Amino acid sequence: MAFGTPGDGASAPAPILVTGAGGSVGGVGRTVVALLRERGLPVRAMVHREDERTKSLRELGAEVVTGDLTLPAEVARCLEGTRRVYFGMGVSSSYLVAAATVAAVARATGNLEVLVDVSQMTVSQMGVTSTEESDQQRLHWLAEQVLDWSGLPVVHLRPTVLLDNPLFTTLAARTIAERGVIRLPFGTGRSSPIAARDVARVAATVLADPAPHIGRVYELTGPRSQDMAGVAAEFSRALGRPVTHEDVPLDVWAEEVLAPAGLHPYVEQHIATMARLHRQGRYDRLTRTVEEITGTPGQTIEEYVTSHAPLFQPPNPG
C-alpha cells in the first residue's frame, strides 16, 4: 500500500513517526526504527531528549525529533506531516496521559492511516474492576480504552513478558553467572517470554502495510510456554553448562534480588507484580501470531541467550 503526503506525485512520502525511539526496556521502538529503515521507509524517530543514543538513530537515516509525549504542542509538532504512528513508551506513571495526548492530537489532524499501540498481554485478562495487576498494567488497560474510543485506526499489540525484561536478564544474570542458578519466584508457573525484536518485527510489518490489520488486537508470545525447568534447560543449552531454577518466596526475592537493583519504586512495583502473576499462571499463554504476521517464528529463549551470552558469563578472573 503506497502512502504519501497530499499533493502531486512528486511529493516525498510521509515519514512514519516512532515514539520511544530513544530506548526503553527491550528497546522495541529503536528496533522498529531500524527495521523500517531496512525496508527503505522514511522514519521520524521521537526521543525525549538528545543524548548519545540519537547519533545511532541518525546513522540509520532517521529524522530525529525531541518532544514530550504528555505535551500536546510538542506531540503536534512531531506528528505533523505523518500518517502512520508507532506508539510505545517505557514504564511510566505518565503513560495514560501520554496515550490520551497522542490520541487527541492524532484525532485532531484527521489523516492517520494507522496507530500501532504496544500494550501488554495482561490486558487480555483484565476488566474494568481488576485489582491484581500493577499500576502500569492498569494504565495500559485504560490507554487501550482511550485509543479505542478515539475512533482512530488502531492496531493493538499485546506481548507477553519481554525476554529483555530485567526478570530474565539483569535480575537473573548474577546468580546464573556465579552459580548456574536462575533465582525467580515463579513456582510452577509457566511463561512464554518474547524477544523485543520479535515485537518490533510485528510492529514494522503492520506499519509497512497497515490496511489488513486495522482494528485488530494481536497477542504476541514466544514460541513455547514452559515452566522454569524448561526455561533453565534452554539457558543450559545456550551457555553450554548446567543451569537450574531455584524457586524462592516472592517476598524473599523482592528483598534480596529486586530491591538491591535500585529501580524506581514505580518500576519495582511493576516487576514485582509480574513475578507474582507468573507464579499464578497468568503468563501461560501461547500464540503463533509472530510467525503468522512476519513469516518467521519468534526467537526461542535458547537463541536469545546465545546472542546475549556475555551477560550471563562469570567475570574473567584477574
Residues 19-73: pLDDT tens digits? 999 875 458 999 999 999 999 999 999 998 888 888 889 999 999 999 999 999 9
Q: What residue segments make up the domains of the chain, in order of their start?
A: 16-161+194-220, 170-190+223-285+296-312
**What would be the CATH architecture of the domain defined by 16-161+194-220?**
3-Layer(aba) Sandwich (3.40)
Q: What does the pLDDT average to over 208-218? A: 97
Residues 259-274: pLDDT tens digits? 999 999 999 999 999 9
This prediction has a pTM of 0.93
Residues 220-234: pLDDT tens digits? 999 999 999 999 999
SS (HEC) of the chain: CCCCCCCCCCCCCCCEEECCCCCCHHHHHHHHHHHHHHCCCCEEEEECCCCHHHHHHHHCCCEEEECCCCCHHHHHHHHCCCCEEEECCCCCCCHHHHHHHHHHHHHHHCCCCEEEEECCHHHHHCCCCCCCCCHHHHHHHHHHHHHHHCCCCEEEEEECCECCCCCCCHHHHHHHHHHCEEECCCCCCCECCECHHHHHHHHHHHHHCCHHHCCCEEEECCCCCECHHHHHHHHHHHHCCCCEEECCCHHHHHHHHHHHHCCCHHHHHHHHHHHHHHHCCCCCCCCCHHHHHHCCCCCCHHHHHHHCHHHHCCCCCC
Task: Say if residue 152's pLDDT is above 90.
Answer: yes
Task: Say if residue 9's pLDDT is above 70.
Answer: no
Fold (CATH) for 170-190+223-285+296-312: UDP-galactose 4-epimerase; domain 1 (3.90.25)
